[in-house]
Structure 1
């Protein structure tokens, strides 16, 4: 008969506990690369999360190393209450803020009417927070406000197989039409999804610097 363990004081500083927590970070190194890849491919939710971080890594390596960009700052993507951007940098004397989002895999289709690939980008925060609008209203929402960031950036890899990025000004993103908000409130809140096609439609560009100059 199993003996019930007595309740005791928790000691997070015990050497064995410290070693166990430290060991967690070595799990990835302990897994053969092929097994790690298979695990990611089998779990759509994990794949989506991983691809988002990969996109951030590639954006940093490919885009942010351009000599025209200086003073790059990365931000905590878990702090959406106070921070609505992934990164910002100086370009031609102006600080540019970027929100990087990825295509939703299952949204990608061929549109016969547009003669192009078509996909949807989730363009909102992960958690609800109280947002004060310019008209004085406060709403609890995951939506971004118009103006929370300058430029929406989206990796085109699913469309092209290469690490190119498309850019769209925040002011050109769609506004919400959700009936959760009054018509007045809708004027200040972006839609939670943004559509993108390949070839790119109006308001999208692969030229980050031309987009930044049009602010």
Structure 2
């Protein structure tokens, strides 16, 4: 007997779940984020060049990284982030940048009560984010080859006290330089494909938070990081390019000779 799907367990249809996700961007972001983590693990599984893949407890604030891999005897932490889909822009045939998604009112919630005159109050508007009709009308070939731009949120899920190299402790949601090795930016929101842009932690832009000194800002990663397709520096499509660079540095620090890089 086939195992029950989550739809069976919850007693809903695929259409019901689709509508729920489309009308709740935060839910969509959460689901896409977890799928991106699984897709990244599958990517490394296919390459078969890393081992001991694992994910540490999400609630352990001392360990950042959605995927930990061992590469040639060294452990590396990869932080997975996803695009803010509603901010993605596409370069249209006329050379203008257009927001990919548009917010449409699709109805209203039930009336919360009556007015003083005894008439029903209007319920809150219900919105749905949908692909702009001008984009959906474009040829598929153009969608695959045109340029996209957007950004991803690169911070922690909650505020925590963060000790810095200069001895200061700041309470922030920002991530610290060096907390992980590589960021994997899930760019599914560009072309609807499970693709990633990889960048070294050290190459990510620093925070511009006005309340911090320059010394503190240089130890904190910016909360919103731009990314494009085609990828531009510091992002690359091949994670092993970055793993080899990190491995070479670690081995040099230990006085070892790096193993030859696989073609």
Alignment of 1:50-69 (within 5 A): 50-69=31-50
1:86 aligns with 2:66: yes
Paired residues in the alignment total 190
Alignment of 1:1-20 (within 5 A): none
- Which residue matches 1:110? 90
1:47 aligns with 2:78: no
Tell me the TM-score normalised to structure 2 length: 0.67
2: distance between equivalents of 1:210 and 1:54?
Answer: 24
Structure 1 unaligned segments of length 5 or more: list them: 1-24
Deviation at 1:66, TM superposition (A): 2.5
- Which residue matches 2:123? none
Alignment of 1:104-183 (within 5 A): 104-110=84-90, 116-183=147-214
CA contact (8 A) 1:28 1:36 kept: no
Which 10-residue stretch deviates more, 155-164 or 26-35?
Answer: 26-35
Moved over 3 A (4+): 25-29, 110-116
Question: Which of 6, 9, 13 is the equivalent residue of 1:32?
Answer: 13
Q: Does the residue aligned with 2:78 lie in a helix, a strand or coil?
A: strand
- Which residue matches 1:100? 80
Question: Which of 182, 192, 199 is the equivalent residue of 2:223?
Answer: 192
1:70 aligns with 2:48: no
Tell me the TM-score normalised to structure 1 length: 0.81
What RMSD over aligned residues (CA atoms) do the two structures have, in Å? 2.2
